[in-house]
Amino acid sequence: MQRKDYTTTEHDFNHNLIDKDALEVIARLKRAGYEAYLVGGGVRDLLTNHKPKDFDISTSAKPEEIKHVFNRQCILIGKRFRLAHIRFGHKVLEVATFRSGENTDTLITRDNTWGSPEEDALRRDFTINGLFYDPTGNSIIDYVGGWEDIHQRVLKSIGDPVIRFKQDPVRMIRLLKFTARFDFTISPECRKALEICKEEIVKSSPARILEEILRMLESGSSSKFFRLMAESSLLELLFPCLTHFIQGKHGEEIYSYLDQADRVNKERYDKALDRNVLACCLLFPILEHELKLQFTDKGIAPHIGEIMMVSAGIIKAFVTSSFSHFPKKMSTTIGYILTTQFRFTPFSGKTHHKPKLYHHKEFSLALQFLKLRTLINPDLAEEYETWKKLFKQNIRPDKPPHHSDSPVKKRRRYYGKSPRS
């Protein structure tokens, strides 16, 4: 496809939304004699009226040349996909060299063949992610038709989607991710390729799958995303235990929690509910119904030890049956959050406000989830306010808990993601 350039008279995004350090990186590379552009998701977000979460940069400079320009400010990472990380305090900006190479039907294992901007664009996953932004001329550069597809709100693969999904099966999850986030339509070719290639998903890296899932839980579009995952059968291939519950008569309860989490996360762009709290949205309804089957339907009020055992069993079943596993620390934290809900609202109706409870390092996360429960069941609001007040009264000023009482947790300012996925 022939290159097309779109100037300021044709796009009206807010230039002030671009991270100033990203602009500085591009300017320094250009002063050193290299081409450099803002690329991918950052450009897409600007054109869809979203504040960018990532500010990735592509350049003609090779990794060692980027290192030479930025010296100690730069570290080089990766073997399969060599990248430069430019550090600005705790913030990291990702800089990649233009890639080239044939789009074959083999799984990508190494990707360090340097190329031109056009070759680099043709290697990206979807046309909406194949745009470049040149801040020098304030222009959009399009080699793949992404400009038109963004304005028509359609998701198209760059090249044959069957080949592209086989190369990197995580792209199928990203297809559904962009559909959920931007409310775009999937092209017929991509929809057909998704059906053909869905079983390829188990060839992916479990860590990358889990990261995509956790990012979507934070995105403000998780409810729609999980519906799309279930409809496409990808969810069943990756998380069969969760799929079994979602497809049952109580599955909508999980979506109710995800809907409320989405509402909270949309209200605070730069912050999100803690990932452990968000994961509990998937498991708490399952725990409630398991306790109902084992105890309350039989007229038994389970004590906290029994609840801990049932909770641990659910987490173990979820982890062992899933393609991507929660890390051990995360599983432990999720278990604590789940069981603590029944200290807040015990089946016996008798609450015990033991001072040591408030000093558990994860107590504030359990309190976050109780607040989320109040959005679904307003009758719990009084209990939440009581526990919140007692928490504030009992924490020691000289030794605060590991987590604050804020209902949200700041995201780490890291502008980078999995390469070309």
3-state secondary structure of 349: coil
Of 19, 54, 142, 168, the catalytic one is 54
Q: Burial, 72: exposed, middle or buried (Cβ in 10 Å; 0-12, 13-18, 19+)? A: exposed
Nearest alpha-carbon partner for 133 in 123, 146, 122: 146
Q: Could you give the angle at which helices 252-267 and 275-294 cross, rounded to 10 degrees?
A: 160
Q: What is the rounded distance in angstroms from the CA atom of residue 364 to the CA atom of residue 53?
A: 26
Structure token pair of residue 267: 């209200």
Q: Is 125 a catalytic residue?
A: yes
Nearest alpha-carbon partner for 127 in 1, 8, 229, 215: 1
- Please calculate the CA angle 198-204-208 and round it to the nearest 5 degrees: 120
Match 């403000």 to its residue by tokens.
220
| Residue 324 contacts residue 209 (beta carbons within 8 Å) | yes
Of 19, 45, 111, 125, the catalytic one is 125
CA 185 to chain CA centroid, Å, is: 20
Q: What is the rounded distance in angstroms from the CA atom of residue 58 to the CA atom of residue 83?
A: 10
Structure token pair of residue 36: 């450099």
Of 19, 56, 168, 262, the catalytic one is 56
Q: What is the rounded distance in angstroms from the CA atom of residue 183 to the CA atom of residue 197?
A: 22
Which DSSP state fits 72? G
Q: Is 105 a catalytic residue?
A: no
Q: Is 398 a catalytic residue?
A: no
Q: Burial, 170: exposed, middle or buried (Cβ in 10 Å; 0-12, 13-18, 19+)? A: buried
Residues catalogued as catalytic: 54, 56, 125
